[in-house]
Structure 1
Amino acid sequence: MTAAEAIVRRRSFVRLDPDRPVADAVLVRLLRLAGRAHAPHHLQPWRFLVLRDRGNRNRLRRAAYHHPRLFEAPVAILVLGYHHPHQHHWGEIREQIKGPLQLSPEDVGRMNVEVLLDHAAEPDLVAWACRHAQAAATTLMIAASDLGLAAAPIDRVNAPVIRQTFGIPDDHSLCAVIALGYPAADPPELPCLPLAEICFQEHFGQPWTLGEGDDPAC
């Protein structure tokens, strides 16, 4: 399946099969793919808290106002944004990319300064971490389609209760809650808005003139 096919296959409204577990190898593959999302300096400021134990999933369900997808899902994933990833593993990432990119000591020094300055200049680390963790969450949902899974984001949750229940530290933000499993049935395709309604050209409000194209996605 191509990336375009996985995007088209993904559905916003889906029922999950509660009796079909997600195998360890499939879950590991999914998380490895999600971890390939874009992040500045490849700092990967996301963490995935995976809940498979029934008791923990019940605790999450209560904190998510008993969302029906969490009744069905054999797996739930909390996507967290880490505020200070450069302190945790920038050195390891730098060593991994130094050789393939043929970086000189001067190049490495400049990169060290850039990482520190970029982080220090960020006015809102919570928003910064969540912005990139959401990119990982989106990558996860597309990868789920490729693996035959369905991923349903849960929007209405009691974040303080979830933080306390699962021990999420202060330097991590709860950025997404995703119910994960196999679809119980093939959901119908849903319409999407035409480009003329969601795209502008050169200036906000200036009409889109390039047409709709012939992509069968919509």
Structure 2
Amino acid sequence: MEAIRSRRSIRRYGPTDVPDALVRELIDAARHAPSAHNSQPWAFIVVRDGETRERLSRTHRYSRFLRGAPVVIVVLGDERLSPSHLVEDCSAAVENMLIAANALGLGACWVAVYSATAAGREEYVRDLLSIPGHMRVIAMVGVGYPGEAPPPKAVRPLDEITHLERWRPIGPDSAGKS
């Protein structure tokens, strides 16, 4: 649980390269994620080349941090294997990767590429990395040794987000709300 609770989105990285063995550990964690009907629709492109990482950082405004990441892992989903649950399946794989990175002493942050309203992002990455048409570009994950230490994040209290048996107001602030 500590790897989950202490995980932070790390967008600044130190200069030390990430060994291949640790990158493989991250992908191994990702491939153990649950998927609809055990379809395992994911595939991963590991990008270390500086120019390619720079170009990936231009995908959209939230991807700029990728230029400083020693490794970018591009997360793909095969539409033929999971046509209805691709985003959910691949997002679960990304979360496993993020938790594993934290547990291994690495920092990581993901940025979505797939978007129903921003097809240009996906095409940009697809063209850059020669990704075939049946593969959707779901996300990119920047990985490196942390170059920052964000403070603990505030999380909503369990009593505020947990409902028993059915939706109903919980807690002292919910009087009269439904």
Instruction: Please give the TM-score of this superposition, normalised by the length of structure 2.
Output: 0.82
1:13/1:23 Cα in 2 relative to 1: closer, same or farther (>3 Å)? closer
Give 2:90's aligned residue: 133
Kindly provide the amino acid, as one letter, of the partner of residue 6 in structure 2: R
Q: 1:65 aligns with which of 61, 64, 84?
A: 61
Shift of 1:199: 2.7
Tell me if 1:80 matches 2:76.
Answer: yes
Give 1:7's aligned residue: 4
Q: 2:32 aligns with which of 32, 36, 45?
A: 36
Q: 2:132 aligns with which of 161, 165, 169?
A: 169
Note the alpha carbon deviations across 1:38-76, whole angstroms, 9 max, x for none. 123432111111111112111111223374421210111
Q: What SS class does the counterpart of residue 154 from structure 1 fall into?
A: strand
Aligned residues: 165
Q: What SS class does the counterpart of residue 70 from structure 1 fall into?
A: helix
Kindly provide the amino acid, as one letter, of the partner of residue 7 in structure 2: R
Tell me if 1:207 matches 2:137.
Answer: no
Note the alpha carbon deviations across 1:171-204, whole angstroms, 9 max, x for none. 1111111111110133211111112333323333
Residues 15 and 185 in structure 1, CA contact (< 8 A), matched pair in contact too: yes
1:189/1:51 Cα in 2 relative to 1: closer, same or farther (>3 Å)? same
> Between Structure 1 and Structure 2, which shows a larger proportion of strand residues?
2
Stretches of structure 1 lacking an aligned partner (at least 5 in a row)? 86-118, 120-124, 210-218
Q: CA RMSD in A?
A: 2.1
Stretches of structure 2 lacking an aligned partner (at least 5 in a row)? 172-178
Kindly provide the amino acid, as one letter, of the partner of residue 175 in structure 1: I
1:185/1:53 Cα in 2 relative to 1: closer, same or farther (>3 Å)? same
Instruction: Please give the TM-score of this superposition, normalised by the length of structure 1.
Output: 0.68
Q: 1:50 aligns with which of 46, 66, 77?
A: 46
Which protein has the larger Cα radius of gyration, Structure 1 or Structure 2?
1
Partner Cα separation in structure 1 for residue 11 and residue 160 of structure 2: 26
Q: What SS class does the counterpart of residue 63 from structure 1 fall into?
A: coil
> Between Structure 1 and Structure 2, which shows a larger proportion of helix residues?
1
